[in-house]
């Protein structure tokens, strides 16, 4: 419960969800390329408690074989309202730059994003295990 008290939410994060829609790319002449890109929603700003992973195997909320770099603790009701799931993108401390023409973050923004790997709910809060995006 202490993890999600307002005074302990010391970092700002932006969460971005995939919309489930695919858009086909076209080349410079307007011809379809047969390649599709994932559609993305609008980034949502939240305040959260962000910590490095720690603990022993019996206390690790995501298991010992899970690859994650940081843990974000957010209020359970807020997580349910947003519908956070594995695969969402996260930016810490600054909003992602947006490419208006493509309707998605810029390539530079993707390089400094994190990917939600695990969602671990508890009675009062939810822990998100995130890892650095590696060329995805």
Cα separation, 64 vs 80, in Å, equals 26
Continuous H helices in 3-134: 76-82, 107-111
Percent of the chain with pLDDT over 70: 82
First to last CA, the chain: 34
**Cα distances (Å, whole numbers) of residue 120 to 23, 38, 57, 76:** 31, 25, 15, 10
- Residue that the structure tokens 């969460």 belong to: 15
**Helix or strand run (H / E) with residue 132:** strand 125-132
**Helix or strand run (H / E) with residue 82:** helix 76-82
**Cα distances (Å, whole numbers) of residue 131 to 9, 43, 63, 90, 108:** 20, 18, 14, 9, 17
**Structural domain for 102, as ranges:** 2-132
The CATH number given to whatever domain includes residue 32 is 2.40.10
Q: Which of 9-13, 32-36, 51-55 ranks highest by mean pLDDT? A: 32-36
What's the mean pLDDT in 100-124? 86
**Predicted pLDDT of residue 58:** 46
User: What is the CA 12 to chain-centroid distance, rounded?
Assistant: 12
Looking at per-residue confidence, does 79 or 5 come out higher? 79
Longest dimension (CA), the chain: 57
**Predicted pLDDT of residue 99:** 84
Work out how many domains the chain is built from and give that number: 1
């Amino acid at each position: 419960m202490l993890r999600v008290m307002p005074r302990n939410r010391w970092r700002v994060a932006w969460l971005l969800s995939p919309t489930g829609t695919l858009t086909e790319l076209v080349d410079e002449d307007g011809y379809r390329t047969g390649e599709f890109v994932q559609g993305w929603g609008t980034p949502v700003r939240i305040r959260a408690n962000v910590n490095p992973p720690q603990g022993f195997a019996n206390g690790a909320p995501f298991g010992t074989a899970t690859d994650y770099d940081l843990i974000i603790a957010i209020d359970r009701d807020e997580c349910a309202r947003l519908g956070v799931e594995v695969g969402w993108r996260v930016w810490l401390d600054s909003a992602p730059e947006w490419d208006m023409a493509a309707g998605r973050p810029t390539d530079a923004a993707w390089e400094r994003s994190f990917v939600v790997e695990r969602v671990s709910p508890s009675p009062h809060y939810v822990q998100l295990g995130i890892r650095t995006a590696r060329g995805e």
